[in-house]
Structure 1
Amino acid sequence: MMANFFSQFESPYFLGIPLIAIAIALPPMLLPTPSPHWMNNRLITAQTWFVNQFTKQLMMPLNMGGHKWALLLTSLMMFLITINVLGLLPYTFTPTTQLSLNMGFAVPLWLATVIIGMRNQPTIALGHLLPEGTPIPLIPVLIIIETISLLIRPLALGVRLTANLTAGHLLIQLIATAVFVLMPMMPTVAILTAAVLFLLTLLEVAVAMIQAYVFVLLLSLYLQENV
């Protein structure tokens, strides 16, 4: 029975074609694009306002060198929000429930921030491995701990996004199954459970957006240490 619950996280195939490629390529097609006219419609205006506010908030702590990442981080944010929310629709697949995809995002971007720090300010970048004022006997231990902390960052990024989305999807499926089972036996309890399922779905929509924001925010914090 549990195998059926977790089957929703398997990468689906149709005629030997992995549908994860379609799930990744579809969101950019759904986003409205600005028209060449002077006046845009309300949807494009709201999208432009959201992107501008998010970019401004994200780039505020960074210096001018980090502003080059504005387009990349904002695009990643919009992409993650779109596929996370679309994955809550029936008969859909959420690519970000796959750890391999999330690590494919996390590792190159984290590595790019580390390389930028080592190239532009190697002394400051290496100085993060040893806090100022550390007693001499603790220096080797702290260097090892900080190095492990640095190397585990991409794993934390990928696992956080995967675990939160997987747990939410699994909980929704468990409660939905309980509603179908209880409906013929205890309709009142089934209706109350369905209300809980509705509230949980709203919460999961918020979680899908928040986790995309947290993913990009942590990347910006890593970048802030290295620019």
Structure 2
Amino acid sequence: MMVSFFDQFSSPFLLGVPLMMLAMLLPWILLPTPTSRWLSNRLLTLQNWFLNMFTRQLLLPINLPGHKWALILASLMIFLLSLNLLGLLPYTFTPTTQLSVNLGFAFPLWLGTVLIGFRNQPNLSLAHLLPEGTPLLLIPILIIIETISLLIRPIALGVRLTANLTAGHLLIQLISTGFFVLLPLQPVVAGLTGLLLLMLSLLEVAVAIIQAYVFVLLLSLYLQENV
């Protein structure tokens, strides 16, 4: 029996072993693998079309040196999309509702973009910390503010993904609980609640797709500033 609504976000255990890593590795099994045949099946063709279209649109505003990140960004998009959507199935666990997991994705990739900027264009990267024409008295304050805004980017990435998915799962849990409570008491109200639950579930599917795209898009924007 569920003690709290937030228990759905705790990592499940099997024989004392946390199943977090298993939940993160399972989406790769569902992805089709390339074959040596001349013609691919429909699923693999659809996947390749989606990856090509997404990568082309994502790398369109980025300079040529940033195109080396195409494989990393496309793989991250597919991985986050699979985790978010699989977490909507019954009796499943969503690793992307854990802040530690999202920060583990966000911090190394953000740090990679920053290090690339300092290696390739150190003067321009340092110039971002101080706008041109700043009065002399405001220089220390603005440097501190810009440094904090730079360091808070990976935290904002992780918190955004965690908060959106957690809020959607909580709303679905609350409304479904109300549906089962109202079903024997007021069937008409329960029917309206069930319709609301269906619409919210469809919205949560859209949120799962959009948040994975936004996560990768923001990383590409950070990369664009440093290449």
Q: Normalised by the size of structure 2, how large is the TM-score? A: 0.97
Pair 1:223-2:186 in alignment: no
Distance in 1 (CA, whole Å) between partners of 2:63 and 2:154 is 23
Corresponding residue of 1:175: 175
Distance in 2 (CA, whole Å) between partners of 1:40 and 1:179 is 45
Distance in 2 (CA, whole Å) between partners of 1:140 and 1:54 is 41
- Once the two structures are superposed, residues 101-141 of structure 1 have per-residue CA deviations (whole angstroms, 9 ceiling, x without a partner) of 11111111111111111111100001111122223332222
Corresponding residue of 1:68: 68
Task: Describe the SS at the equivalent of 2:4.
Answer: helix
Equivalent residue runs for 1:1-227 within 5 Å? 3-227=3-227
- Once the two structures are superposed, residues 49-98 of structure 1 have per-residue CA deviations (whole angstroms, 9 ceiling, x without a partner) of 11000000111111111011000010000000001000000000000000
Runs of 4 or more, structure 1, over 6 Å off, are none
Amino acid in the other structure paired with 1:90: P
Report the identity percentage.
71
Q: CA RMSD in A?
A: 1.3
Distance in 1 (CA, whole Å) between partners of 2:151 and 2:3 is 33
Amino acid in the other structure paired with 2:70: A
Amino acid in the other structure paired with 2:46: A
Instruction: Return closer, same or farther for 1:24/1:2 CA change in 2, 3 Å cut-off.
Output: closer
Q: Normalised by the size of structure 1, how large is the TM-score? A: 0.97
Distance in 1 (CA, whole Å) between partners of 2:123 and 2:3 is 51
> Is the deviation greater in 137-146 or in 210-219?
137-146
Distance in 1 (CA, whole Å) between partners of 2:88 and 2:194 is 16
Gaps of 5+ in 2: none
